[in-house]
C-alpha cells in the first residue's frame, strides 16, 4: 500500500481525490497540508487522515508518506514539486503542470537529476470513454483523422476557486484550467503531437485578468486539424468528436466521471453505440501511479508529457497576444535524448 501526502487540500481534494482514494486498491492518504494548521487538522479529522501539516516541507519529509500528490493552486506547483523531489519522494502533480514551460523544464530536470518519479495528473487518460476513442483510432476504424474537436465548458462565476480569475495564481483562464485537458486528450487519442496553435478569446467584467472563453485551432504533425473550445460561462459540457476519412466517432460528455458516457461510431449509414462509465477514473489514476512507484508499471503521463502540454498552452497564450499562428516548442525532445 502506497501512502500519500496531499499538498494543497482544497475543493478538488475533497470532491475528487478522496473519493478516488476510497476506491483505490493500493493507495491511501496518510498526511495532508493546508496553509493554516487549524484548517489542516479539521480536514484531517473529517477524512480520518493521521497527519496534518501547515508546512509543505515537513509533509514531504514525513516518514509515514511514500509519495506526494500536489493539488495546490497552480502558482505553487513548482515549489511543491521541487520540495517533494528534494525529499526523494515520487510526486504526482495536478494539471496544469505549472505556470509556463520553463517551470516544467525545471521540474523535469530536477526529477531526472534526483532519479525521482514525476507524473502529471491528467485523469481523463483513465476515462474509459477516452480509451475507447483512442482504440478506434489505433484500430484504423476511422481511417486517417481529418478533424478533431474537444470542448470543455463549466460555469465559474460562483466557483469556490476564486483564484481562477487571477493570472498570477492560475496562469490563465479556461485555457490553462480545462483547455489543457482537451489538449492532452487529443494528443493521446491521436498519438500525435501539436505543431502549432492559433487562439482567440473573449473576457468580461467578471473574468479578472484572464479569458472567459477561447477557441484554439490546432495543427497536428500528421496533418489532422483540431479545435479546442473552452469556457467558464456555459453549463458543463465536454463533447469530443473525431472525423476520419472512413468514419466518425463522438462522445457527448467524454470527460464526465459522474454520468455514463455514450460513444457513437458512424460509418456511412451504420451506427454503433456503446455506453461506458468513468466513475473509477480517479482510483485508476492513483493506483497506476502507485504501481509505477513500486516499479511494476510505467506511469503514462510523465513530467515530459505534462511539459509538452504546457508548451501548447504557452503557444496559445503567445497567439492571443500576437494574433498569429504560433509554433509549439520542441524543447521536451531535447531532455528525452540528453
What is the 3-class SS of 108-153, one letter each residue? HHHHHHHCCCEEEECHHHHCHHHHHHHHHHHCCCCCCEEEEEEEEE
C-alpha cell of 124? 481523463
- Cα torsion angle, 123, 294, 107, 311, sign: negative
What per-residue confidence (pLDDT) applies to 334? Answer: 58
199: left (phi over 0), alpha (psi -120 to 50) or beta: beta
CB atoms within 10 A of CB 44: 20
What per-residue confidence (pLDDT) applies to 337? Answer: 41
Judge whether 90 and 117 are in contact, CB under 8 Å: yes
Residue 126 main-chain phi, psi, to 5 deg: -100, 5
Looking at the structure, do residues 16 and 65 belong to the same domain, yes or no?
yes
The pLDDT tens digits for 92-146 are 999 999 999 999 999 999 999 999 999 999 999 999 999 999 999 999 999 999 9
The pLDDT tens digits for 209-235 are 999 999 999 999 999 999 999 999 999
User: What mean pLDDT, rounded, does the chain reach?
Assistant: 96
The share of the chain scoring above pLDDT 90, in percent, equals 94
What domain range includes position 89? 2-123+284-301
The answer to whether residue 38 sits within a structural domain is: yes
What per-residue confidence (pLDDT) applies to 61? Answer: 98
The answer to whether residue 306 sits within a structural domain is: no
Looking at the structure, do residues 136 and 54 belong to the same domain, yes or no?
no
The answer to whether residue 191 sits within a structural domain is: yes
Stretch 154-174: mean pLDDT: 89
CA 36 to chain CA centroid, Å, is 27
pTM of the model: 0.95
Looking at the structure, do residues 79 and 181 belong to the same domain, yes or no?
no
Angle at 108 between CA 40 and CA 189, to 5 degrees: 95
Looking at the structure, do residues 294 and 254 belong to the same domain, yes or no?
no
What per-residue confidence (pLDDT) applies to 157? Answer: 85
Looking at the structure, do residues 146 and 266 belong to the same domain, yes or no?
yes
The answer to whether residue 82 sits within a structural domain is: yes
Looking at the structure, do residues 202 and 290 belong to the same domain, yes or no?
no
Distance CA 93, CA 334 (A): 22
What per-residue confidence (pLDDT) applies to 315? Answer: 98
Stretch 25-52: mean pLDDT: 98
The answer to whether residue 108 sits within a structural domain is: yes
C-alpha cell of 38? 487549524
The residue whose grid cell reads 501547515 is 54
Looking at the structure, do residues 168 and 64 belong to the same domain, yes or no?
no
The answer to whether residue 162 sits within a structural domain is: yes
The pLDDT tens digits for 72-84 are 999 999 999 999 9
CATH of the domain at 193: 3.30.360.10
Residue 338's pLDDT band (cuts 50, 70, 90): very low
Looking at the structure, do residues 191 and 111 belong to the same domain, yes or no?
no
What per-residue confidence (pLDDT) applies to 218? Answer: 98
Give the H/E segment covering residue 281. helix 281-293
Question: Closest by alpha carbon to 281, among 309, 304, 255?
Answer: 255
CATH of the domain at 34: 3.40.50.720
How many domains does the structure of the chain reveal? 2
Looking at the structure, do residues 188 and 290 belong to the same domain, yes or no?
no
The share of the chain scoring above pLDDT 70, in percent, equals 98
The answer to whether residue 183 sits within a structural domain is: yes
What per-residue confidence (pLDDT) applies to 27? Answer: 98
Cα Rg of the chain, angstroms: 20
- Cα torsion angle, 127, 236, 177, 334, sign: positive
Stretch 287-298: mean pLDDT: 98
Stretch 15-37: mean pLDDT: 97
Residue 143 main-chain phi, psi, to 5 deg: 75, -165
Residue 330's pLDDT band (cuts 50, 70, 90): confident
What per-residue confidence (pLDDT) applies to 333? Answer: 54
Looking at the structure, do residues 237 and 197 belong to the same domain, yes or no?
yes
What per-residue confidence (pLDDT) applies to 216? Answer: 98
Amino acid at each position: 500500500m502506497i501512502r500519500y501526502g496531499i499538498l494543497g487540500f482544497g475543493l478538488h481534494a475533497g470532491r475528487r481525490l478522496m473519493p478516488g482514494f476510497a476506491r483505490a486498491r493500493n493507495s491511501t492518504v496518510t498526511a495532508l497540508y493546508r496553509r493554516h494548521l487549524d484548517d489542516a487538522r479539521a480536514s484531517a479529522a473529517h477524512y480520518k487522515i493521521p497527519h496534518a501539516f501547515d508546512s509543505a516541507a515537513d509533509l514531504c519529509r514525513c516518514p509515514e508518506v511514500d509519495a506526494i500528490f500536489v493539488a495546490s493552486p497552480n502558482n505553487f506547483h513548482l515549489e511543491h514539486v521541487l520540495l517533494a523531489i528534494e525529499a526523494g519522494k515520487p510526486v504526482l502533480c495536478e494539471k496544469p503542470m505549472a505556470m509556463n514551460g520553463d517551470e516544467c523544464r525545471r521540474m523535469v530536470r530536477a526529477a531526472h537529476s534526483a532519479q525521482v518519479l514525476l507524473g502529471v495528473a491528467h485523469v481523463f487518460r483513465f476515462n474509459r470513454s477516452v480509451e475507447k476513442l483512442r482504440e478506434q483510432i489505433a484500430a484504423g476504424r476511422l481511417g486517417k483523422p481529418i478533424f478533431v474537436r474537444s470542448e470543455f465548458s463549466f460555469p465559474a462565476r460562483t466557483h469556490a476557486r476564486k483564484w481562477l480569475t487571477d493570472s498570477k495564481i492560475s496562469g490563465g483562464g479556461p485555457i490553462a484550467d480545462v483547455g489543457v485537458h482537451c489538449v492532452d486528450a487529443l494528443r493521446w487519442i491521436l498519438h500525435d503531437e501539436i505543431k502549432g496553435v492559433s487562439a482567440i478569446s473573449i473576457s468580461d467584467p467578471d473574468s479578472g485578468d484572464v479569458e472567459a472563453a477561447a477557441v484554439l485551432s490546432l495543427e497536428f504533425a500528421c496533418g489532422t486539424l483540431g479545435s479546442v473550445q473552452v469556457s467558464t460561462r456555459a453549463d458543463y459540457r465536454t463533447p469530443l468528436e473525431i472525423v476520419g476519412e472512413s468514419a466518425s466517432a463522438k462522445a457527448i460528455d467524454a470527460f464526465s466521471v459522474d454520468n455514463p458516457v455514450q460513444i457513437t461510431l458512424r460509418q456511412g449509414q451504420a451506427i454503433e453505440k456503446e455506453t461506458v462509465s468513468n466513475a473509477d477514473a480517479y482510483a485508476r489514476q492513483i493506483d497506476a501511479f502507485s504501481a509505477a512507484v513500486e516499479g511494476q508499471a510505467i506511469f503514462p503521463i510523465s513530467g515530459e508529457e505534462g511539459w509538452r502540454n504546457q508548451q501548447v498552452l504557452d503557444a496559445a497564450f503567445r497567439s492571443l497576444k500576437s494574433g498569429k499562428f504560433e509554433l509549439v516548442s520542441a524543447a521536451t525532445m531535447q531532455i528525452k535524448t540528453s
